[in-house]
Structure 1
Amino acid sequence: MPNPRLATRYAKSLIDLAIEKGQLEQVFADMQWLQAVCKSNKDFVNLLRSPIIKADTKKKILGAVTAGKLGELVSAFNNLLITKGRESNLPEIVNAFIDQYKKHKNIQVIKLTTATPVSDALKNAIIDQVRKTSGIQQIELEEKVNPDLIGGFVLQLGDQLVDASISYDLRTIAKQFENNDFIYNVR
């Protein structure tokens, strides 16, 4: 079961240790690799969450999967998680670490959802416009394609949402028709 509080604590401890040891960038790269593995391989995540598989077996499998790919600090951290019985929370801890890293580096993530893939020129124009209006200098763009939007885009920056999609406009028009906003009472 996801435990965001636990994930945040472990991620904070790891980020503090990485800063102390001067290995923050290496640990961040390792955590990005682990995040990619967790997202692409559900069997790996299920193995970590399985109560049937013993901790020693999990250590061996995790060691074999990550051999030569992770630094010493992250490998030791993974072993600590298994020792403490927290290996099932690894995907959440990885995500929490990446979020805290971005906060530490003042990197703002904006999410752009469009109906079709967007050109690089348009992506750069959107990033430039967000920089001008928000004053944020370091921006990371996460793209998503959702054909249900029909056209236009949805842009999310923190807790702000700009929905300039055709599907939103159509929903708005449908609500207006439901409310009879276009029907005049003639007496």
Structure 2
Amino acid sequence: MLNPRVASRYAKSLLDLAVERGQLEQVHGDMLYLQQLTKESRDFLNLLRSPVIKAETKTKVINAVTAGKVSEITTAFIQLMTAKAREAVLPEIITSFINQYKESKGIKTVKLTTAVPVSDTVKQEIIDQVKKTPGFDKLELQEVVDPSIIGGFVLQADDKLIDASIAYDLKTISRQFENNDFIYKVR
């Protein structure tokens, strides 16, 4: 993140404005769209971060890309960012807005890492188990496939981590052999 304080302040201002105008859900949808756009289009991200391209050109391109896809509040916000030469921070502002939105709605993000993609049934079972934990009534499951864990799963929610992966078990066994706990030590 280039400047988390700046991103957080702009995101908070946009969130407050959206709440005030009763368009929070619409602006949240806009932010999800823009986040997807910045992740998928490297050219768009380079446009935002380029110091060479003039503000008017950036505004025209951004307006062309977002025309009819984002609300008036979001359009005005992006134009303000461009006018204030803060468009390079826009991806961080988007991420901060989404995080603040989730916090305001009480939505927790739960990250599930597996070696292979899991079925919808397994996902639902995991969600049901996590929802039994106090404070996790509303949650969003973020899936990550990482073959390096070999098998099992790693579940991360807030500051809690459950590592039931085969890679972790192998590391634990390796550490036990390194410590030579199985060899009698003679003085």
Name the counterpart of 2:84: 84
The match for 1:133 is: 133
Q: Distance in 2 between matches of 1:35 and 1:186?
A: 61
Q: CA deviation at 1:68?
A: 1.0
Once the two structures are TM-superposed, the CA of residue 186 in structure 1 deviates from its matched residue by 5.5
The residue aligned with 1:172 is 172
Distance in 2 separating the partners of 1:50 and 1:37? 17
Residue identity matched to 2:171? R
Q: Which amino acid aligns with 2:43?
A: D
Which position in structure 2 is the counterpart of 1:146?
Answer: 146
Provide the rounded CA distance (Å) in 2 between the counterparts of 1:42 and 1:91. Answer: 12
Structure 1: unaligned runs, 5 residues or longer = none
Distance in 1 between residues matched to 2:135 and 2:29, nearest whole Å? 27
TM-score, structure 1 normalization:
0.97
Question: What's the CA shift for 1:134?
Answer: 3.0
- The equivalences for 1:6-25 within 5 A come to 6-25=6-25
Cα distance between partner residues in 2 of 1:72 and 1:89? 20
- The one-letter amino acid of 2:80's match is L
SS at match of 1:8: helix
Letter matched to residue 162 of structure 2: V
CA distance in 2, matches of 1:21, 1:147: 46
**Distance in 2 separating the partners of 1:77 and 1:155:** 36
Match of 1:114 in 2: 114
Superposition TM-score, scaled by structure 2 size:
0.97
RMSD between aligned alpha carbons? 1.1
Identity of aligned residues (%): 62
- Cα gap change, 1:135 to 1:92, in 2 (>3 Å): closer
Which string of whole-angstrom CA distances, capped at 9 and with x for unpartnered residues, describes residues 108-152 of structure 1? 110000011111111111111111133421111000100111100
Amino acid at match of 1:87: E
Give 3-state SS (helix, strand or coil) of 2:111's partner.
Answer: strand
- Structure 1 segments (4+ residues) deviating >2 Å: none
CA distance in 1, matches of 2:66, 2:89: 17
Distance 2:51 2:39 in 1: 21
Unaligned runs of 5+ in 2: none
Query: Can you list the C-alpha shifts for 1:80-113, whole angstroms capped at 9, x where unaligned?
Result: 0001110000100000000000011111110000
Shift of 1:32: 0.3
Which residue of the partner structure matches residue 59 of structure 1?
59
Cα distance in 2 for partners of 1:161, 1:134 equals 16
Residue in structure 2 matched with residue 34 of structure 1 by the alignment = 34
Aligned to 2:183: 183
Deviations 1:4-56, CA, capped at 9 Å, x for gaps: 11110000000000000000000000000000000001111111101100111
- In the aligned structure 2, how far is the partner of 1:184 from the partner of 1:174? 18
